[in-house]
């Protein structure tokens, strides 16, 4: 079994890459775990360090139901899957996951492009304005990125360009996994 962790900043392309890998490896039994499925409800909040505004917190490991996620991750590892992919902000940060990974991937994308992608996503999903998305991003998301996500890039085996996920990097990964 090959266990893949895919991390990267908000809206960098983690889910897109995991879906692309799953499709390209359709001849194998692939299990994909999305960390976003494990957010706590109700969502914890955080106070922005500069503005003092309270926001929902989705960019800290404590915002996840870690026990549930670890249980499902370990169950996937005990299954008959050929490949298990776990993707999310903290895939390379959380030790319980990191120490079990066979392949560690970080999807990199410049912060301005991640902000634009985040705006498009949150505008479509939640009707948020550019000001709402930008304020939260600047007040909390970028701080958490610098605290948890960016340092995990140095734990990656491969860093992929989030603007070119369908390029040679994907082909190399699929070739490696197909062997």
Domains and CATH numbers, the chain: 2-160 (3.40.50.300)
* Residue 13 DSSP symbol: S
pLDDT band for position 134 (cuts 50, 70, 90): confident
Using CA atoms, how far apart are residues 36 and 33, in angstroms rounded to an integer?
9
pLDDT at 49: 86
> Which residue from 81, 65, 74, 79 is spatially nearest to 97, judged by alpha carbons?
74
pLDDT band for position 144 (cuts 50, 70, 90): very high
pLDDT at 88: 97
> Which residue from 63, 65, 107 is spatially nearest to 85, judged by alpha carbons?
107
Q: Tens digits of per-residue pLDDT, 58-107?
A: 999 999 999 999 999 999 999 999 999 999 999 999 999 999 999 999 99
> Which residue from 121, 118, 108, 85 is spatially nearest to 156, judged by alpha carbons?
108
Instruction: With a cut of 80, say whether residue 179 has pLDDT above it.
Output: no
Instruction: With a cut of 80, say whether residue 119 has pLDDT above it.
Output: yes
> Which residue from 88, 106, 104, 86 is spatially nearest to 159, judged by alpha carbons?
106
- Please say whether the beta carbons of 16 and 114 come within 8 A: no
Lowest mean pLDDT among 13-17, 91-95, 134-138: 134-138
């Amino acid at each position: 079994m090959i266990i893949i962790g895919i991390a990267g900043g908000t809206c960098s392309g983690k889910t897109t890459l995991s879906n692309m890998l799953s499709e390209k490896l359709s001849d194998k039994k692939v299990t994909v775990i999305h960390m976003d499925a494990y957010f706590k409800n109700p969502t914890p909040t955080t106070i922005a360090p500069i503005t003092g505004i309270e926001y929902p917190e989705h960019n800290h490991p404590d915002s996840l139901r870690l026990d549930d996620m670890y249980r499902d991750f370990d169950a996937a590892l005990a299954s008959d899957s050929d490949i298990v992919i776990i993707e999310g902000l903290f895939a390379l940060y959380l030790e319980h996951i990191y120490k079990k990974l066979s392949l560690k991937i970080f999807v990199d994308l410049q912060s301005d492009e991640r902000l634009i992608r985040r705006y498009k996503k949150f505008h479509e999903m939640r009707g948020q304005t550019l000001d709402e998305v930008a304020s939260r991003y600047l007040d909390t998301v970028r701080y958490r990125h610098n605290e948890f996500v960016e340092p995990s890039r140095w734990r990656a085996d491969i860093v992929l360009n989030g603007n070119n996920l369908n390029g040679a990097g994907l082909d190399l990964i699929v070739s490696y996994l197909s062997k």
